[in-house]
Amino acid sequence: MIKTFFKLLIIFSLVIIPLTNAWAGDYGLGTAGNTAGLKSPGGSASTALAGEAGRIIGTILAFLGVIFLVLMIAGGILWMTAGGNDAKVQRARSLLIAAIIGLIIVLSAYAITTFVANNLLAQ
């Protein structure tokens, strides 16, 4: 029962999260700004590419955050339902530790990439 729930949650996350950026359109805000006389932000192709890359990275990080949350909840439920069974407790503990290590690796990679990109763009 619990495994089925988490499988459905992961499948739902894999389908819905990537589509949210496609669904999050302008909603007429650009047209309203043009009507009000506001100028749209200009920029070169490189800034547009950087903005698109930032949006994609943000989506990926949001997806990884959902995966981390699902793993933490699964580990917590597994630990609570272990009923004193040492094998289940050890499995839950290893799942929680692996989720935390994965989050640390992802955030470290993001921080290093941001640091390097900012230093390259500053020159």
Q: What is the pLDDT of residue 114?
A: 81
Q: In terms of pLDDT, which residue wins out, 55 or 33?
A: 55
Q: In terms of pLDDT, which residue wins out, 21 or 9?
A: 9
Q: Choose the most confident range, by mean pLDDT, from 42-46, 64-68, 91-95.
A: 91-95
> In whole angstroms, what is the distance from residue 90 CA to residue 83 CA?
12
> In whole angstroms, what is the distance from residue 57 CA to residue 51 CA?
10
Residue found under tokens 């921080």 = 111
Secondary structure of residue 28 in the 3-state scheme: coil
Query: How sure is the predictor about 100, in pLDDT bands with cuts at 50, 70 and 90?
Result: very high
Q: What is the pLDDT of residue 15?
A: 65
pLDDT tops 80 at residue 112: yes
Query: How sure is the predictor about 117, in pLDDT bands with cuts at 50, 70 and 90?
Result: confident
As a whole number, mean pLDDT of residues 30-35 equals: 61
What is the tally of structural domains in the chain?
Answer: 1
> In whole angstroms, what is the distance from residue 40 CA to residue 26 CA?
13
Residues 6 or more apart whose Cβ sits within 8 Å of residue 75? 92, 93, 95, 96, 99
As a whole number, mean pLDDT of residues 70-96 equals: 92
45: containing domain: 2-122
